[in-house]
Amino acid sequence: MYNIQKAVSRLAFAPKLREVAITDIKGGIGVFTPKADKQVSFAALKNTLKQAGYKLGSAEITVAGTLRREQAKWSIVADTSGQSFTLDGAPATTTLADATPGAQVEVVGDWKTVGEGVGAQEVVTPKELKKASPVKDATRRAAQPFRGNLLAAAKAPPEGELALVETGRTEQPERLTAEGERMTEAMRVDIRPSSLVPHPSSFILHPSLLLFAPIRTTSPGLTVFKGGAIIPRLSFTRQHLGSLEVNRQSLNVAVSYTPTPYVQLEVDVPFARTSFDDGVSRGSGQGLGNVTLWGKYRFYRVLETWGDRQASVRFGLELPTGKKDGPSESHLHAPAFVRQQLTPISGGLAAHMDAAYSQAHGRVVFGGNAAGVLRSERAGYRTGHELQVNTDFEYVIFPFKYRKPTGEVFAILETNFVRRWEGRVGGVEVPESRSTEYYLSPGLQYVATSRVVIEGSVQLPVLLRTGSQLLRTRSNVLVGVRYLF
C-alpha cells in the first residue's frame, strides 16, 4: 500500500505523499488530488507504477473542455491547464459526428500516451460525448457516492485545476497486474476541471501491500521501492544454567532501503545489557553487539485477487564489532565458554544465508524460512554453527469488515527450530556445547498507520536439548515498531 502511495507521489502532477490517502482496501481504492496547473500523463503514471513493480494495462478517462478540429482530427482542450487530448480511433467518427468546434463538452473514453518525448500525445478513444455539466450540478454530484465508493474531498482545489480519478471495478476486470502477472482489479481514470468537482484521484491497491510481515521469521517481502524502513526492537531474555540466572535486555535497530523492486539492503545494529546471579556472585555488563549487513533478492512474486505469493534469498555478513570481554573467573566461577556467553556477541566474522517464502490469501498469511550461520572465532571464542527453520502463520482478527486500510490487528503464531553445533573457546572445541531447540512464538501486530506497525511476541521453549555448557532460554519477550519512509 505505502509502496504505491510513495510511487504515485513522485509524479510531477501528484500531491505530497501524506495527501495520497487509501479509502477502501478491499476495493483497492486510494485518492489524491493532483497539483494545480500540472498536466497529467498516462505514460508517466504507467512507468512510475512499473518501477515500483506493477503494470498498468489500461485506463478510462473523462475530459471536460473545449472541442477543437484541425482538418480531420478532433481534440479536446482542458479549460484552465490548456492540456490537449487527441480524440482518435474508429469510435471517434461516430461519437463526434454531430459535434461543433468550440463546444464545451465532456468526453469519456480509453486513455493512452502515444509517442515519446516532446512528440508524445495524450490520446482518448471516445465512448461517450455529452455537454459539460453546470457547476452547481457537478458540485452536488461530487458529494454523492461514486461507483459505490465514497470519494468526497475535504476541500475543492483552486478553480480550473485538473484532477485525476482512477477507481472502480468492471464486470470482468483484468487491468492492473504485478510485473508479468495478472491482477483482477480495474482502473478508471476521470479528468475534468476541478472547479466543477473537488475530484480526488484513486489507484488500485492490493491488501498484500500492507505491512504484512512476520516478527521472528524472515519475510520475503521488500519494504518501499526507493524508500525503506526503520525497525527498532527491544527484547527481554531470561536464561539459566544450574544455579546461574541470566537476564538480557537487547535493543536492535534495523535500517533497510529498497533501491529496486527486487533488491533490499539492510543493516542491523544491536546493543545489549546482561546481568547474572549465581547465588554467590552477581554482576552486569553492556556493550555493542556485532553489526550485520544484509542484502535480499526477491526472485519470485505473484499477485492474485486478495492474495500474494513471494520468495527471496538473503545474504548477511556479521562484522566483529561487538564487545568481546566477559566476566573474569574471579568474578564468576564458571567455565570460560559459559562466561563468554554473557557477552553481546556469538563470535567474530560470520556468514548468514537465508531463503524465505510466504503466501497471503484473504485474512490468512503463512510462510517460512530456512537459514544457516557459519561463524569464525574472535579472541578464540565462538558458539557453534547454526541451522534455523522458522514457520509463520498470521490471521487478521480485526477489523471484521475491510472498509479502509490501517487499524488491522494480526494474530501471529511462529515456530522456531535451531540446531547448533559445538562451539570453541581458546581455539579448542568445547564438549557439551551442542543444542537442539524448538520454540513457539505467539504474537500480535497492530497497523497503526500506513507507515507504522507496532508488534509484540513471546518466545517459549517447547524442546531444549542442550549441552551442559550452554545457557538455556526460559523465555524471550520482544516488542518493536516498524516505520516506513
Domains and CATH numbers, the chain: 2-205 (2.40.50.140), 209-484 (2.40.128.130)
pLDDT in tens, the chain (485 residues): 566 667 777 788 777 776 766 565 554 455 666 675 778 888 887 888 777 766 666 667 777 788 888 877 888 887 767 888 898 876 666 777 777 888 888 888 888 899 988 888 889 888 887 876 544 333 333 332 222 222 222 233 333 333 333 333 333 333 333 333 333 333 344 433 332 222 333 333 333 344 568 999 999 998 887 889 999 999 999 999 999 999 999 999 999 999 988 999 999 999 999 999 999 999 999 999 999 999 999 999 887 655 689 999 999 999 999 999 999 999 999 999 999 999 999 999 999 999 999 998 878 999 999 999 999 999 999 999 999 999 999 999 988 876 666 788 999 999 999 999 999 999 899 999 999 999 999 999 999 987 899 999 999 999 999 999 999 999 999 999 999 98
The three state secondary structure string of the chain is CHHHHHHHHCCCCCCCHHHCEEEECCCCEEECCCCCCCCCCHHHHHHHHHHCCEEECCEEEEEEEEEEEECCEEEEEECCCCCEEEECCHHHHHHCCCCCCCCEEEEEEEEEEECCHHHCEEEEEEEEEEECCCHHHHHHHHCCCECCECCCCCCCCCCCCEEEEECCCCCCCCCEEECCCCCCCCCCEEEEECCCCCCCCCCCCCHHHCCCCCCCCCCCCCCCECEEEEEEEEEEEEEEECCEEEEEEEEEEEEEEECCCCEEEEEEEEEEEEEEECCCCEEEEEEECCCEEEEEEEEEEEEECCEEEEEEEEEEEECCCCCCCCCCCCCCCCCHHHHHCCCCCCCCCEEEEEEEEEEEECCEEEEEEEEEEEECCECCEECCCEEEEEEEEEEEEECCCCCCCCCCEEEEEEEEEEEECCCEECCEECCCCCEEEEEEEEEEEEECCCCEEEEEEEEEEEEEEECCCCCEEEEEEEEEEEEEC
